Amino acid sequence: MKYVLFTLNGFLELFKKRGEKTLFEYTKKGNFEDFINKGQWGFVFLEETIERGYFEFFLKSENFPGEGFLRALKYKIPVNTQDSFFIAKFVFSDDMKILETDVKLNFMEKIKLLEDIKKIENNFEYYVYDEDIILKFKEDFPLIETFFPNEIKGFLIETLFYRNRKFETINKIMKISKEILEVHEINKVRLDLNEVPANFLYIYGLGRHKEKICLNDILKRKIFYFSNSKILNGIVEFLKIENLKKIEKLKDEEIYWLNFSADFKLLPSMLIKNFEFFSQEVLKEIPYREDTRFLFIFDPFINENLKVKKMYSLFLAVNFYKVKRKYKRANLLFQEFLK
């Protein structure tokens, strides 16, 4: 038996009602029809962020090292055993309340704002990427969950500070950011241009160094990964999963994890076209076979920096001997997949 896991990030949107129909009903199924006819639909609960959701699909939650650490691995940031990592995002606040969490800054604006904060509090390193800002600290913070930016709109700034005294450094940086950025030249220019200022640095997504885990050894099978994006590369690195440069001939008793992410900026019509391309081109390379077990997961994750409301994702299981209608623990579905 061969094992193929398709994770389709953001494609759950196809199944939401829009008027009388879902987008999936308007979609040409193509090669996917073969799998629908042989498969069983069901629901699986994934945790609220994409990294935690798929990590806990494979392993228990106590092994999760936090989003910040997985992002460090994703971007190949140098890591030492006592390092902790946070994700940071510039947001807009007024009257000490968060009003906008998606402030568009260019690369150089981010660098300048971070540099000026660092002149006052310099006990961290920063790494800036297109979507992410990663902060690295040579401190061993206790691993706790934090609010993601899309959750804090309308929050008072004072409610975002950590209550644990071990996080005084983090609180200090956030307080300093408010003082500096409120009168920063970049934000003065942005106001003159009628653009939203970035006057608060929110720090979240704590992750801490942990030794990598070899998923092959746990599963007693080889697992390979292929994706059209880098969204889950941190998990792949942490679990020592081998990347595939292209989808090749499948081998018996091996697991193939194929991840495809929708562009979260896509219009509904383009989301349909994305899935039709997946059905026509990708599934042409991996057609239905009786000697292969397939699992398709349609999830709601359109962005790794968003936390979704607790909800079930949709799955299609093909050539399973036994499958339940609903899985509250995602790992149980994965175990069923491998039986």
Q: Give dist(CA 265, CA 302) in Å, integer.
A: 9
pLDDT in tens, 76-113: 999 999 999 999 999 999 999 999 999 999 999 999 99
Q: Where in the chain is the domain with CATH 3.40.720.10?
A: 2-63+212-338
| pLDDT confidence of residue 20 | 86
Report the CATH architecture of 2-63+212-338. Answer: 3-Layer(aba) Sandwich (3.40)
Is residue 335 over pLDDT 80? yes
d(CA 45, CA 12): 13
Q: Is residue 116 helix, strand or coil?
A: helix
Residue 115: exposure state from Cβ atoms within 10 A (0-12, 13-18, ≥19): exposed
What residue type is 207 in one-letter code? Answer: G
Cβ atoms of residues 136 and 124 within 8 Å:
yes
Q: Which residue stretches of the chain are H helix?
A: 23-26, 32-38, 50-58, 67-74, 107-118, 168-182, 185-192, 215-219, 233-238, 268-277, 283-285, 330-338
At 18, the pLDDT band (50, 70, 90 cuts) reads confident
Mean residue pLDDT of the chain comes to: 95
What pLDDT is stored for residue 41 in this prediction? 98
Inter-CA distances, 116 with 23, 82, 126, 200, Å: 47, 26, 12, 13
Kind and range of the H or E element at 5? strand 2-9
- Summarize pLDDT for 128-165 with one digit per residue, the tens: 998 899 999 999 899 998 999 999 999 999 999 999 99
DSSP 244: P
CB-count exposure of residue 190 (10 Å: 0-12, 13-18, 19+): buried
Q: How confident is the model at residue 265 (pLDDT cuts 50, 70, 90)?
A: confident
Using one digit for the tens of pLDDT, what is the confidence trace for 307-325? 998 899 999 999 998 899 9
Contacts of 119 by beta carbon, 8 Å cutoff, 6+ apart: none
